[in-house]
Amino acid sequence: MSEQEKNINEEKNPSASNMTRRNKRRIISIASICLVLAAVILVNVIASVLTDRYAVFTTDITSDNSFGLSEESVKIAQGVKKDVTITFLTDKVNYEAYDTYCKQATNIADQLKKYSDGKISVEYKDLLKNPNIENEYKSETLSVTDVLVTCGEKYNLLKVEDMFNFELYGDYQYISSSKAESAFDTAIVKVTSDTETKIGIITDNTEDSYSTLESTLAANNYTLVPFSIENEQIPDDVATVICYAPTKDYSKDATDKLRKFLKNDDKYDRGLIFIAYRFEIECPNITDLLYDYGMKLEDGLAFETQTTSMMTTGDAYRNIAANFSSTKPYMSNYTDKDFPVLVSMSRAVTLVNESTTEPLLMFSSESGICPYSATDDWVWQDYITGNVIVMAQGAAGGDNGISRLIFSGSTEMWNSLLTQAEFTNKKYILNILNDINHREDTGVYLSEKVITKYDLSSVDSQTKVVTSVIIYAVLPVLILGVGVCVFIVRRRK
């Protein structure tokens, strides 16, 4: 078509070409916006999926790698072969809102997930919205700040004190550092572990519950095998037996069985833990057994008068902090020497054979034993003997190995007091059990992570104040001053 014809054409249909050109433009414009929007959304979705799944897409630029995983953790995560679930008992937003350290903890959980190639998953189930979780873990007291690590039937409950270290600032308790990474690692190792050590527990005449002990042990791959010493044989695959607060004496047969068990055909290497019932019982056989291992069972309950050892002032028998009596045994790897073990309503022993026995836990120099026969008008000062032994160990053995009979005077120490956060009952007991059963402490101990280092406390406050004032007062005024000057100069231009 020649120019002229084209022109005429356009002239003839000016309105038609008007509409098309503008509408065409409009359509192209809207289409391009939609296209770009779709592309942007797509890119973001892909990026978010990748970031979530693979750890390589997240970098931690903090110099001490506060948010990253240490090599051990990575190895553990990569080595997980079973399905593990980490469940936070509240929403992610709520949990992270408590403290920066909490954010770090969720981050660590996420990273563990990323390195596990799908084996570890992280969930957030608000305890308040899912009360049925409490039913699944009846022996535990769950709280929204807890974290559950589960693998099949096995579980490990991580409480805040397991994950973080607290310090006091006046009345206010704040998190000073985090051991969340170790806590997660340990929990993962434990729930995925195949090792299962059996510990026998004698049920004859046992009235007290040991449910907390059982769940604590289960969380550390120990299974309690209850049996009756009177009627049954001691199970073969058991290297440790617990006598849990019998309210009556054992028969001679029973104690002989225990002696034989400990001797183990001269192979030894066994453990017997005798946990005393708090009230007076006639138990000549038990007393004999203890005596064979160098310990004399004393009549009465141990009491404490030093107020610093009492959790409740005035209550001399309950909740007393017992001190470790020496640096060994069980102490060489022990990291919590400064935190005492809590003991309650405890009987006591005295040691008759210095060479084969050792005290493990003692009361202070202002303690004594109140005999069962004491009346209301007894004078306690007369009964102060000091350094009352509430837990002791007698050993027997030879070159092949050593068997130990551990006497513990307090039942509560092994059950209800296991969950007290400020005391180390759990750790201590596990320490002992691990030692006897030749189990490596499967805990993973990494250096604690500190996000907020209070490193300016050494700078004198005057410097701090002056510097601050310079920044928030002097500088802005200077800037505004420059502005005013420029303004004045330009007025005249």
Partner 1 sequence: MIKVKNLSKSYVKNKALDDVSFSLSEGEILGFLGPNGAGKSTTMNIITGYISSDSGTVEIDGIDILEDPSAAKKKIGYLPEQPPLYNDMTVQKYLEFMFKLKKVKLPMKEHIDKICETVKISSVQERIIKNLSKGYRQRVGLAQALLGDPPVLILDEPTVGLDPEQIIEIRKLIRDLGKKHTVILSSHVLSEVQAVCDKIVIINNGKISAEGMTSDMTHTGSSTQRLELIVEGRRQNIISILTKVDGVTDVTDQGECEKGCYEFAVDSSRDVRRLIFRAIAKTDYSILSMKPVEVSLEDTYLSIISGKAEEVKNNVSDI
Partner 2 sequence: MSAIFKREFISYFTSPVGYAVLAAFTFFSGIFMWVYCMYPGTSNMSGVFQSMFFIVLFVIPLITMRLFAEDKKQKTDQALLTAPVGIPSIVTAKYLSALAMTGLCLSAFIIEGITLSFMSHPDWSVIIGNVFGMALLGSSFIAIGLFISSLTESVIVAGIVSFAVNVLISLLDTVASTIPADFIKDMFSSLSFQSRYSHFALGLFSLSDVLYFVTLTFFFLFLTDRVIERRRWA
The residues binding partner 1 (CB under 8 A) are: 7, 10-11, 14, 17-18, 21-22, 490, 493
Q: Residues near 264 by Cβ (< 8 Å), separated by ≥ 6?
A: 270, 403
CB of 5 to partner 1, least distance (A): 13
14 interface partner picked from partner 1, partner 2, none, CB below 5 to 8 A per type: partner 1
Alpha-helical (H) ranges within 402-474 are 425-436, 461-469
CB of 147 to partner 2, least distance (A): 19
In the numeric block, which tokens belong to residue 463? 């410097």
Cα–Cα dist 365/321, whole Å = 13
Environment class of residue 16 by beta-carbon count within 10 Å: exposed (0-12), middle (13-18) or buried (19+)? exposed
CB of 464 to partner 2, least distance (A): 4
18 interface partner picked from partner 2, partner 1, none, CB below 5 to 8 A per type: partner 1
Q: Are 294 and 394 in contact (CB under 8 A)?
A: yes
43 interface partner picked from partner 2, partner 1, none, CB below 5 to 8 A per type: partner 2
Q: Which is nearer to partner 2, 81 or 491 (CB)?
A: 491
Query: For binding to partner 2 (CB under 8 A), which residues are involved?
Result: 22, 25-26, 29, 32-33, 36-37, 40, 43-44, 47-48, 50-52, 57-64, 66-67, 93, 100, 103-104, 107, 451-459, 463-465, 467-468, 471-473, 475-477, 479-480, 482-483, 486-487, 490
In the numeric block, which tokens belong to residue 456? 């300016």
Q: Which is nearer to partner 1, 129 or 492 (CB)?
A: 492
Q: Is 302 left (phi over 0), alpha (psi -120 to 50) or beta?
A: beta
CB of 32 to partner 2, least distance (A): 7
Q: Are 144 and 126 in contact (CB under 8 A)?
A: yes
Q: Which is nearer to partner 1, 10 or 422 (CB)?
A: 10
Alpha carbon 217 to chain centroid, angstroms: 14
Q: Which is nearer to partner 1, 21 or 337 (CB)?
A: 21
61 interface partner picked from partner 1, partner 2, none, CB below 5 to 8 A per type: partner 2
CA distances, 55 to each of 51, 288, 445 (Å) = 7, 62, 23
Q: Which is nearer to partner 1, 22 or 328 (CB)?
A: 22
Backbone φ, ψ for residue 299 (5° rounding): -85, 120
11 interface partner picked from partner 2, partner 1, none, CB below 5 to 8 A per type: partner 1
Alpha-helical (H) ranges within 229-342 are 252-263, 284-292
464 interface partner picked from partner 1, partner 2, none, CB below 5 to 8 A per type: partner 2
CB of 79 to partner 2, least distance (A): 25
CB of 23 to partner 1, least distance (A): 10
CB of 44 to partner 1, least distance (A): 34
CB of 481 to partner 1, least distance (A): 20
By C-alpha distance, which of 349, 470, 461, 482 is closest to 406?
Answer: 349
Q: Which is nearer to partner 1, 18 or 211 (CB)?
A: 18
Mind giving me the DSSP string for 212-231?
HHHHHHHTTTEEEEEE-TTT
48 interface partner picked from partner 2, partner 1, none, CB below 5 to 8 A per type: partner 2
> What kind and span of H or E run contains 492?
helix 475-492
CB of 129 to partner 2, least distance (A): 10
Q: Which is nearer to partner 2, 326 or 463 (CB)?
A: 463
In the numeric block, which tokens belong to residue 101? 């350290």
CA distances, 457 to each of 60, 177, 293, 463 (Å) = 26, 17, 55, 11
471 interface partner picked from partner 2, partner 1, none, CB below 5 to 8 A per type: partner 2
Q: Which is nearer to partner 1, 29 or 100 (CB)?
A: 29
